[in-house]
């Protein structure tokens, strides 16, 4: 099978490796764009088994920092810290914080070493109705890849991230999420720290929230907030980030005296799920298919997981050596698209409980309940609830029906008088 993958981010490179291992002839188009900063620095535990499958954990560990857990700092009295190891073996006991450009370069190098043909070109796709295909590489893109010999590949994979090349070519719309936030972030040195090394800190701010992600030698600090609130902080991304740090006593205690060592990067317009992710002879993976939200960091997991699901769906063709038709490919990949849509929707639901205050209200209610005196039954009930939240937030069981039902139930009936609105993120 001849496969062209457009975009060498985590989704594209991971899929290229898996398909090359299965014997496919893979051409990977890489636009060579290497910004100083890329978001996607904090991974969830469910990523680690995928890194292991790719044979890429050791290399990732060499330039990353182990992430033992996450702390949510909602107010001076409401700090909730979680370590993944507490929920093992159901949850993988750790994750990583990664320098994304380095991670992407290393994964791409791994793809090339696996026999993938890398073509450095900004690719273009076009809508067609030829031989049952719906999407082709544009003429100059096909010409840039001599090993394709001027023949369209059997399968075109859109891994272009938020550029969403195939959606644009085919006019595919998307379900948009409720939030229209903007994020600004940068890297800092000489920062202070008040938690376990590697722990990711999520801080609720007067408007929006901020992340602190410790990398090997730097701290990534980002703010995520509504556009109007962002505009109130200043005219430029730098002014806004600096002002947000100065205005918040806790954030200022961490990053106030630190030195910014990169420019400030900006991202906007996320939270979308593509209405269609597969068609005759083409498929979307990673952000090109959909993206949830920076809260809880599911993006790289969803990108790598989509690569796994697509590779697994194509494995039977590799085994028989048959060249599938565009319609056969679409049929084989349709269950993947259904699963990916459901995963994106499950993450969107989970993330909503952080924004509307239900999750923090539940954390506070649980803590206060345990403080009134513990018993074996109370402890068992509390650990049961926390374990099912951890299963979802770690990426291991985000779609589990029981865990989701329990969270919905507790978010409605288990708050013991704590008002979610009081814990919501504006």
Ligand X SMILES: Cc1cc2nc3c(=O)[nH]c(=O)nc-3n(C[C@H](O)[C@H](O)[C@H](O)COP(=O)(O)OP(=O)(O)OC[C@H]3O[C@@H](n4cnc5c(N)ncnc54)[C@H](O)[C@@H]3O)c2cc1C
Window contacting ligand X (CB under 6 A); options: 10-18, 274-282, 340-348, 367-375: 10-18
> SS3 for 300?
helix
Evaluated on CA atoms 21, 27, 32, 33, the torsion sign reads: negative
Using rule CB under 6 A, residue 290 touches ligand X? no
- Between 225 and 410, whose beta carbon lies closer to ligand X? 225
Nearest Cα neighbor of 91 from 371, 339, 390 is 390
Q: Select the residue interacting with ligand X from 1, 4, 5, 11 (CB under 6 A).
A: 11
DSSP strand pairing (117-120 vs 259-260): unpaired
Binding residues for ligand X restricted to 268-287, rule: CB under 6 A: 270, 286-287
Give the Cβ contact number of residue 138 at 10 Å: 14
Stretch near ligand X under the rule CB under 6 A, chosen from 38-46, 60-68, 145-153, 226-234: 38-46
Q: Of these, 202, 303, 389, 393, which contacts ligand X (CB under 6 A)?
A: 303
Residue 237 beta carbon to ligand X: minimum distance, rounded to whole angstroms:
12
Counting residues that bind ligand X (by CB under 6 A) gives 36
| Candidates 6-14, 48-56, 228-236, 251-259; binding stretch for ligand X (CB under 6 A) | 6-14
Out of 1, 3, 8, 167, the only residue in the binding site for ligand X (CB under 6 A) is 8
What mask, x for binding ligand X by CB under 6 A, covers residues 151 to 170?
--------xxxxx-x-----
Using CB under 6 A, which of 63, 193, 267, 369 touches ligand X? Answer: 267
When asked if residue 18 is in the footprint of ligand X (CB under 6 A), the reply is no
Which residue lies nearer to ligand X by CB, 4 or 418? Answer: 4
DSSP sequence for 119-159: EES---EEEEEETTEEEEE-HHHHHT-GGGTT---SEEEE-
With residue 338 as reference, give the H or E element that holds it: helix 326-355
- Regarding 12 and contact with ligand X (CB under 6 A), the answer is yes
Contact assessment for residue 117 and residue 28, using Cβ atoms and an 8 Å cutoff: yes
Question: Mask of contacts with ligand X, 183-212, x by CB under 6 A?
Answer: x-----------------------------
Bridge pairing between strands 272-274 and 2-6: unpaired
Q: What minimum distance in Å lies between the beta carbon of 165 and ligand X?
A: 5
Residue 197's alpha-carbon distances to 176, 360, 406, in angstroms, are 36, 23, 32
Q: Nearest approach, Cβ of 104 to ligand X (angstroms)?
A: 6
What is the closest distance, in whole angstroms, from the C-beta atom of residue 61 to ligand X in the complex?
A: 17
In 3D space, the residue among 189, 183, 181 whose CA is nearest the CA of residue 244 turns out to be 183
Q: How far is the CB of 2 from ligand X (least distance, A)?
A: 18
Which residues between 43 and 82 bind ligand X (CB under 6 A)?
A: 43
- The values of phi and psi at residue 112, to 5°, are -65, -40
What 3-state class would DSSP assign to 229?
Answer: helix
For 195, the token pair is 């938690």
Within 8 A by CB and 6+ apart from 326, the residues are 131, 132, 133, 134, 154, 280, 281
- The correct pick among 46, 111, 123, 425 for binding ligand X (CB under 6 A) is 123
Secondary structure (DSSP) of 11-76: HHHHHHHHHHHTT-EEEEEE-----S--S--B--TTHHHHHHHTT-HHHHHHHSEEE-EEEEEEET
Q: How far is the CB of 208 from ligand X (least distance, A)?
A: 11
Q: Which residues contribute to the site for ligand X (CB under 6 A)? A: 6-12, 29-31, 33, 39-43, 122-123, 159-163, 165, 183, 267, 270, 286-287, 291, 294, 297, 299-301, 303
């Amino acid at each position: 099978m001849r496969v062209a993958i457009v975009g060498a981010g985590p989704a594209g490179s991971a899929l290229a490796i898996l398909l090359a291992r299965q014997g496919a002839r893979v051409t990977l188009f890489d636009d060579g764009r290497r910004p100083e900063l890329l978001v996607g620095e904090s991974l969830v535990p469910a990523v680690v088994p995928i890194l292991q499958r790719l044979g890429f954990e050791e290399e990732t560990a060499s330039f990353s920092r182990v992430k033992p857990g996450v702390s949510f700092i909602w107010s001076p009295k409401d700090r909730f810290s979680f370590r993944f190891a507490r929920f093992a073996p159901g949850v993988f006991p750790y994750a990583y914080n990664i320098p994304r450009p380095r991670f992407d370069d290393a994964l791409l190098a791994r793809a090339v070493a696996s026999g993938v043909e890398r073509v450095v070109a900004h690719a273009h796709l076009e809508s067609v109705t030829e031989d049952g295909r719906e999407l082709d590489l544009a003429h100059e893109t096909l010409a840039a890849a001599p090993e394709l010999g001027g023949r369209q590949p059997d399968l075109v994979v859109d891994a272009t991230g938020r550029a969403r090349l195939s959606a644009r070519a085919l006019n595919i719309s998307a379900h948009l999420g409720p939030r229209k936030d903007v994020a600004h972030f940068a890297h800092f040195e000489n920062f202070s720290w008040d938690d376990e090394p590697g722990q990711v800190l999520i801080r609720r701010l007067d408007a929006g929230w901020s992340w602190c992600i410790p990398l090997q030698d730097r701290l990534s600090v980002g703010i995520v907030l509504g556009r109007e609130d962002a505009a109130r902080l200043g005219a430029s991304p730098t002014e806004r980030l600096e002002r947000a740090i100065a205005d918040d006593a806790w954030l200022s205690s961490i990053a106030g005296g630190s030195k910014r060592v990169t420019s400030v990067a900006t991202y906007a317009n996320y939270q979308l799920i593509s209405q269609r992710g597969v068609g005759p002879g083409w498929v979307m993976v990673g952000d090109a298919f959909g993206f949830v939200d920076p809260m809880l960091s599911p993006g790289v997991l969803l990108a790598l997981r989509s690569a796994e699901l697509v590779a697994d769906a194509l494995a039977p063709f590799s085994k028989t050596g048959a060249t599938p038709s565009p319609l056969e490919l679409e049929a084989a990949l349709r269950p993947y698209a259904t699963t990916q849509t459901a995963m994106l929707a499950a993450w969107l639901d989970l993330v909503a409980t952080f924004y509307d205050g239900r999750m923090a209200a539940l954390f506070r209610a649980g803590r206060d309940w345990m403080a009134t005196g513990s018993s074996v039954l109370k402890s068992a009930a509390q650990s049961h609830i926390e374990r099912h939240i951890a299963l979802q937030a770690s990426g291991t069981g985000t779609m589990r029906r029981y865990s989701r039902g329990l969270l919905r139930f507790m978010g409605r009936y288990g708050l013991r008088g704590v008002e979610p609105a009081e814990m919501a993120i504006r």
